Structure 1
Amino acid sequence: MNKKILYLTEAAVIAAIYTVLVFLFQYSSFGPFQFRIAEALTILPYFSAAAIPGVTLGCLLSNILFSNIFDIIFGTLATLIGAYLSYRLRANKFLVPIPPIVVNALIIPWVLKYAGFAEESIPLMMVSIAGGQLLAAGVLGMLLLFTLDKVKHIIFKNY
C-alpha cells in the first residue's frame, strides 16, 4: 500500500477518534476545570508521526464544533506543539505525555481568560489544566501507550 495513503488514513482515523471522544465527553472537555479524555491520544506520536496531524486535526474539529475562535486557533496550536514535542521525545516513552501537559497548562488558561470564559486566576487555571492533562495524557495516555505498545506492529506502520 502507498505510504502516503497509509499516513493520511492513520491521521484521519486518529482525528476522527479524537473528535468523537470530545463529542461524547464535551461537558468535561472545556472550561477552566477540564478533563478532556481525548487528550489520552496525545501519546500516539510515540508510535507514529501521523498522530501529529491526527490529534491536531481532531482538536481543531472539536474546537470548531464546541468552542470559540481563540480556542480554535490557540488550543489547536497547543495540541500541535504538544504532539510535535511528544514525537521528538519518543525515545523515552515516559517523557511522551509531558509536552501536552505542560503546553496546555501554559497556553489554555490564557485562552480561557482572554476569551471571557473564565474568571479564575491564570495560576489557578494553570494548575487545573495541568491536573486534567495529567489525568488524561499522563494516566489514561500512558495506559493506552503500554497497551498499544504490545500490539503496535499490527496497528502502526513505519514511514
Structure 2
Amino acid sequence: MMRTTRIVRAALIAGIYVVLCLVLQPFSYGPVQVRISEVLTLLPVFTPDAIWAVTLGCFLSNLFSMSPWDMLFGTLATFLAAVSTYQLRHIRFKGVPFLSCLPPILFNAVIVGAEITYIFMPETASVPVLLFNMVTVGLGQVVSCGILGLLLVKTIEKTPQLRGWVEANK
C-alpha cells in the first residue's frame, strides 16, 4: 500500500507540473519565462518522491516545446535542482528553507540560459548574450521558486492535510 501511495503522489505531482506548464504556456517557454510549475521543484523539501515527479513532469512538459534539446537540458536542470533541493531541505533560517530554492534558480539559469544561447540563438551567441539569457531565466526562477515556491512550502507546513499528503512516510 505504501508503494502505491508514493507512486500516486509522484504521478499527481508530475501531472500538476504538466498542467501548469500547458495552461500557462505563454509564460512557460522561451528566453524570458516564468515557469510557474517550477514551484513544485521545492517539494523535495518534504519527500524524495518529488525528485522523480518534477523530473518526469518537466520532461513531459518539454515534449511540447518540440525541442529534443529542451527535453534533455531542461529536464536535466530540473533533476539536478530537485536532488540538490532535497539535500538542502534541513538547512533553514528562521524556519524557512531559503537555500532549497537556490538550486532551481541556479541550475536553470546556467543550463537553460546556455541552451537558449548556444542552441536556439547560435548566430548571436556571445558572453553578453549568454549572461543576458542566464539572468532572464534566473529571474523567472526567482519568481517561481524563490517567491512562490517558498510560499508553497510555508503553506504546506502550516496545513496539516497538505503536509500529511506530501510527506514521504504518510
**TM-score for both structures, normalised by structure 2:** 0.87
Tell me whether 1:144 sits opposite 2:143 in the alignment.
Answer: no
CA contact (8 A) 1:31 1:117 kept: no
Output the amino acid matched with 1:107: I
Matching residue of 1:132: 140
Tell me whether 1:78 sits opposite 2:77 in the alignment.
Answer: yes
Q: CA RMSD in A?
A: 1.5
Deviations 1:100-122 (A, max 9, x none): 00000110011112322585700
Mapping for residues 22-33 of structure 1, pairs under 5 Å: 22-33=21-32
Matching residue of 2:165: 155
Matching residue of 2:39: 40
Secondary structure of the structure 2 residue equivalent to 1:97 = helix
Alignment partners' CA distance in 2, 1:157 and 1:30? 30
Alignment partners' CA distance in 2, 1:67 and 1:122? 22
Mapping for residues 16-27 of structure 1, pairs under 5 Å: 16-27=15-26
Alignment partners' CA distance in 2, 1:10 and 1:117? 38
Q: Gaps spanning 5+ residues in structure 2: where?
A: 92-96
Aligned length: 158
Matching residue of 2:12: 13
The sequence identity of aligned pairs, in percent, is 39
Output the amino acid matched with 1:148: I
Matching residue of 1:66: 65
Matching residue of 2:100: 96
Identify, as 1 or 2, the structure richer in helix: 2
Tell me whether 1:114 sits opposite 2:149 in the alignment.
Answer: no
CA shift in 2, pair 1:157/1:109, >3 Å: closer
